[in-house]
Amino acid sequence: MNTPRTTLYRDKQHGKLLGVCAGIADYTGVDALWVRLAFIILVMSTGIALPAYFVAGILLDKKPAALYTDHAEQKYWQGVRQSPKRTAREIRSRMKDVDRRLAEVENFYVSSNPRLTAEIERLR
């Protein structure tokens, strides 16, 4: 799954320095404040975090401006990146619910309209 919406980008629009932490926050769905705090803790505890940040800032592409149409789409794709199987289960569940509701509507109209029932039976 390597679409533009499932790729890690650096987010200069919401970023402070190079946008790496904001990009990670967008990718994971975690608030950028927590990602930045985790980065500061990593910088203080290890020496590799700061060079890794600049390398990521150089290697990562800039986030496209029109990647998401709205906030709901952004949340959906964050869910896909976090757990694709869970997202697929949720979509399957929604489709089953729509199918069930459609069957109820069909049953209501067919059972209360004998002319429609006869026409449907004639078509079979």
Per-residue pLDDT tens digits for 90-118: 888 889 999 989 888 887 776 777 787 78
Q: Please tell me the distance from the alpha carbon of residue 37 to that of residue 33, in angstroms, as a whole number.
A: 6
Query: Is 73 found in the same domain as 14?
Result: yes
Domain that residue 89 falls in: 83-124
Task: Tell me the per-residue pLDDT of 13-33, one tens digit each, with 9 for 90 and over.
Answer: 777 888 888 888 888 878 888
Query: Is 58 found in the same domain as 95?
Result: no
CA proximity to 6, closest of 32, 30, 28, 33: 28
Query: Is 73 found in the same domain as 34?
Result: yes
Query: Is 68 found in the same domain as 11?
Result: yes
Query: Is 78 found in the same domain as 35?
Result: yes
* Confidence (pTM): 0.55
Residue 64 has pLDDT above 80, yes or no: no
Do 77 and 42 contact (CB within 8 A), yes or no? no
Query: Is 58 found in the same domain as 104?
Result: no
Residue 83 structure tokens: 């757990």
Domain count, the chain: 2
